[in-house]
């Protein structure tokens, strides 16, 4: 059985661009994977400096890295093999021809949450069409909502605390391959 071993931890500050001390720690640790819990603005130069320092491991991050800037700013060879997770399905999973329609309308590919954003906007429009024009009425409408979104296929059903029902959330892993984020797999839920 494989066992993971935490060999260290550190942090960066928003706006940091020089990571010499952390790069030295990571390279010296022998770590084969590094989880980065931040955003592209710092992660891109950090990864470039890790690669320049000789680190060959896999960078893993959340949806804060899941954007085209991480791919282009970091550079194809440095970002290759990076894995990110996102509670967003690949655009190819979107229904109703959404990816093609989005690109035709806006000239760019749909982003990470475009399908979900479209569905949520339609839920609000459905509430308005049903006469829910006050905050309290809209809140009651959304609290009782329980339907699949036209584009994402996600069933929108909220818990009493206002969070999307966790049973509806699907997490996907994407890997940087040849300069694009390629869907790797939906991450199975654990009990």
Asked if 152 contacts 119 with a C-beta cutoff of 8 angstroms, the reply is: yes
pLDDT for res 4: 67
**20-87+170-187 has CATH 3.40.50.2300 classification:** yes
Query: In angstroms, what CA-CA distances link 96 with 2, 90, 141?
Result: 42, 14, 25
Q: Give me the residues of the chain with pLDDT under 70, please.
A: 1-4, 191
- Residues whose CB falls within 8 Å of the CB of residue 26, separated by 6 or more in sequence, listed in order: 8, 34, 50, 53, 55, 57
Could you tell me the pTM of the whole model? 0.82
pLDDT tens for residues 11-24?
Answer: 999 999 999 999 99
CA 164 – CA 95 distance, rounded (Å): 20
Euclidean distance between CA atoms 112 and 65, whole angstroms: 11
Per-residue pLDDT at 1: 47
Pairing of strands 33-36, 180-187: unpaired
Strands, DSSP E only, in 19-140?
33-36, 58-61, 83-86
Domain limits, the chain: 20-87+170-187, 92-167
Nearest alpha-carbon partner for 11 in 35, 32, 44, 31:
35
Q: Which residues pair with 173 in a beta bridge?
A: 85, 185
104-129: per-residue pLDDT in tens?
Answer: 999 988 888 888 999 999 999 999 99
Contact in structure between 173 and 184 (CB atoms under 8 Å) = yes
- Please say whether the beta carbons of 58 and 85 come within 8 A: no
User: CA 34, CA 7: separation in Å to the nearest integer?
Assistant: 10
Nearest CA-CA partner of 53 in 27, 19, 17, 80: 27
Cα separation, 66 vs 63, in Å, equals 5
Q: Helix or strand or coil: residue 73? A: helix
């Amino acid at each position: 059985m494989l066992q993971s071993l935490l060999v260290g931890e550190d942090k960066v500050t928003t706006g940091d661009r020089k990571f010499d001390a952390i790069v030295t720690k990571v390279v010296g640790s022998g770590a084969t994977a590094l989880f980065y819990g931040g955003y592209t603005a710092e992660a891109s130069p950090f990864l470039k400096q890790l690669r320049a320092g000789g680190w060959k491991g896999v960078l893993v991050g959340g949806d804060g890295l899941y954007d085209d800037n991480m791919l282009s700013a970091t550079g194809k060879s440095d970002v290759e093999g990076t894995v990110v997770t996102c509670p967003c399905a690949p655009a190819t999973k979107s229904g109703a021809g959404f990816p093609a329609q989005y690109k035709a309308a806006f000239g760019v590919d749909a982003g990470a949450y475009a399908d979900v954003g479209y569905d949520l906007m339609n839920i609000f429009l459905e509430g308005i069409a049903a006469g829910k024009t006050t905050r309290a009425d809209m809140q009651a409408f959304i609290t009782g909502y329980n339907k699949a979104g036209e584009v994402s296929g996600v069933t929108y059903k909220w818990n009493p605390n206002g969070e999307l029902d966790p049973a509806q959330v699907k997490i996907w892993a994407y890997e940087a391959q040849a300069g694009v984020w390629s869907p790797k797999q939906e991450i199975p839920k654990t009990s």
